[in-house]
Amino acid sequence: MKTISFSYRLGLSTVYQIIIEVCYAIIEIVMLEVMPVPTEQKWKEIASEFWTCWDFPNCLGAIDGKHVTIQAPPNSGSQYFCYKKTFSIVLLALVDAHYNFIAVDMESFGKNSDGGIMAHSKLGKALDQNKLNVPPKEALPGTTNDVPYVIVGDEAFPLKTYLLRLYPAKQLD
């Protein structure tokens, strides 16, 4: 950044802001081409693959967060400091039955939990507002009861009508 700053006679903070804005613009444009919002038909194809590969009907994807270690920006305080005692950002990813990305979010600080990140992410908000072309309820194979399509996550995520997770108890009576 110092080279750009000296070359164009701009302050470091200005260069930093320009880089951030350009990166966000690139992400907005490229994401629409590389990872478009699935159509209802595409969601049904993904669910069919989960049924074929994993015997999991009506599943639209698996979601999890992964801490990506970074060098903390100067004067960033503790917002990037995570429970692993490193500095990180969090990659929130939704994948299909073959581990291909359907949606990603990398805008969160390392100190945040997966569930908290989901609640504030574009993906989480779109799911809550039913803006992702998710198919309507359908019967599970061999039944006549209609159930919603779901995403599966770990216990870090909140229970939602569209999100299943592991039962958090270690022992059951």
Give 98 or 31, the one with higher predicted confidence: 98
Task: Give the mean pLDDT of 90-107.
Answer: 89
Q: Token digits for 79?
A: 């917002």
In the prediction, which pLDDT does 112 show?
60
Query: How many CB atoms within 10 Å of residue 114?
Result: 21
What pLDDT is stored for residue 109 in this prediction? 63
Indicate the domain borders of the chain: 1-34, 38-165
Those residues with Cβ within 8 angstroms of residue 159's Cβ, 6 or more apart along the chain or in another chain: 165
Whether the model pTM is above 0.75: yes
Predicted local confidence at residue 13, as pLDDT: 86
117 or 146, greater pLDDT: 146
Q: Is the pLDDT of residue 150 over 90?
A: yes
In the three-class reduction of DSSP (H, G, I as helix; E, B as strand; rest coil), residue 102 is classed as strand
- What integer pLDDT is reported at residue 120 of this predicted model? 81
What proportion of the chain, given as a percentage, has pLDDT over 90? 38
Task: Considering only residues 112 and 170, tell me which one the structure prediction assigns the higher pLDDT.
Answer: 170
Distance CA 109, CA 60 (A): 26
For residues 44 and 120, the model is more confident at 44
**C-beta atoms surrounding 121 within 10 Å:** 20
Query: Which residue in 153, 51, 155 sits closest to 163, CA to CA?
Result: 153
Q: For 34-43, 61-70, 80-89, which range has the lowest pLDDT when averaged over its residues? A: 80-89
Of the listed ranges 1-5, 40-44, 92-96, 122-126, the least confidently predicted one is: 1-5
Over residues 139-166, the mean pLDDT reads 91
pLDDT at 139: 94
Q: In 3D, which of 87, 77, 83, 152 has the Cα closest to residue 113?
A: 83
In the prediction, which pLDDT does 173 show?
64
pLDDT band for position 23 (50/70/90)?
confident
